[in-house]
Amino acid sequence: MVAGVVGLGLMGGSLALELKELDFVKKVVGYDKNEKHKKEALELKLIEEAVDLDTIQKCDLIILAIPVEGIIETLKSFKNIKSDSTIIDLGSTKEKIVKSVPEKIRKNFVAAHPMTGTEKFGPKAAFKGLYKDKIVVVCDIEKSGEHQKNVAIRLFESIGMQIVYMEAAEHDRHAAYISHLPHAISYALANSVLGQEDPKSILILAAGGFKDMSRLAKSSPKMWSDIFKQNRENLLDSIDSFKKELKIAENLLKEENWEELRKWMEKATTLHDIL
């Protein structure tokens, strides 16, 4: 089959590299609305040919590796896809996407969210191995066609991913805690240091802990404000629950209740028995 990747950044570019190696994929073409990225992806040999969206529509396998708002728009623009084509999106939120897929192509569509990434973006950030041994959440799979389901499973398993099935709404609630809240926290931490009198003197002391906590604050503001928009209600809920926990710590500090503070910390350490 011919695979067409829309969006040639970290996620799409890295997947294109994997697609090229699969025995059931004959050719990998790609599209990016950013002309510079399209050229870079070709130069970096992420794709074999740069094409337009009309050509993408004729592919047997279409990957949408673009921001959520773009996925929704692109799905609506697909009027000429093959009857047996498989369209897989890699968006970070799922409920708004699955609700917006045009009925005519619903069977062609598989909603997926690979739980992987780095803080880097663009074609140059793409690398082989991004997906290996990672989780991919596949949502509302009963609404996809049998053939499309099988193509998606074959694809994800071939590149070494473990599939977890979930309802889109549940995925979005969970993703708020596991991914969107950590991003909001990381941006807030970075801004709170930048807001101090002499951030440079503070940052000279930065070791592994702070670097880990602030790494997500390197992520693309364009992409992440879009994700926050899509998952606004769940993110607000998660911020609320996080704030309550921080308030507990703050109150115990104010009360100088060291015994209870230690217990609160001990509860937190049990996370790693599950993780």
By CB under 8 A, the residues from 109 to 128 that bind a copy of itself are 115-118
Nearer to a copy of itself, 48 or 119 (CB): 119
Three-class HEC string of the chain: CEEEEECCCHHHHHHHHHHCCCCCCCEEEEECCCHHHHHHHHHCCCCCEECCHHHHHCCCEEEECCCHHHHHHHHHHCCCCCCCCEEEECCCCCHHHHHHCCHHHHHHEEEEEECCCCCCCCHHHCCCCCCCCCEEEEECHHHCCHHHHHHHHHHHHHCCCEEEEECHHHHHHHHHHHHHHHHHHHHHHHHHHHCCCCHHHHHCCCCHHHHHHHHHHHCCHHHHHHHHHHCHHHHHHHHHHHHHHHHHHHHHHHHCCHHHHHHHHHHHHCHHHHC
Report the nearest approach of a copy of itself to the CB of residue 204 (Å).
6
265 binds a copy of itself (CB under 8 A): yes
Nearer to a copy of itself, 86 or 179 (CB): 179
Q: Report the amino acid identity of residue 18.
A: E
Q: How far is the CB of 192 from a copy of itself (least distance, A)?
A: 4
Using CB under 8 A, which of 35, 83, 142, 254 touches a copy of itself? 254
210 binds a copy of itself (CB under 8 A): yes
141 binds a copy of itself (CB under 8 A): no
80, 103, 142, 271: which one contacts a copy of itself (CB under 8 A)?
271
Of 45 and 232, nearer to a copy of itself (C-beta) is 232
Binding segment (CB under 8 A) for a copy of itself, from list 40-48, 71-79, 139-147, 215-223: 215-223
| Tokens read off for 87 | 């369209």
Which burial class, exposed, middle or buried, applies to 243 when counting CB atoms under 10 A from its CB (0-12, 13-18, 19+)?
exposed
Q: Which stretch binds a copy of itself (CB under 8 A): 31-39, 53-61, 86-94, 208-216?
A: 208-216
Least Cβ distance, residue 145 to a copy of itself (angstroms): 26
Q: Which is nearer to a copy of itself, 103 or 272 (CB)?
A: 272
Candidates 35, 83, 103, 274; binder of a copy of itself (CB under 8 A) is 274
Which lies closer to a copy of itself via its Cβ, residue 144 or residue 219?
219
Q: How far is the CB of 65 from a copy of itself (least distance, A)?
A: 16
**Identity of the amino acid at 244:** K
Question: Counting contacts by CB under 8 A, is residue 100 touching a copy of itself?
Answer: no
Chain position carrying tokens 């704030």: 243
> Token digits for 66?
């673009």
Establish if 99 lies at the interface with a copy of itself (CB under 8 A): no
Structure tokens at 138: 């596949």
94 binds a copy of itself (CB under 8 A): no
Least Cβ distance, residue 153 to a copy of itself (angstroms)? 18
Choice between 23 and 254, CB closer to a copy of itself: 254
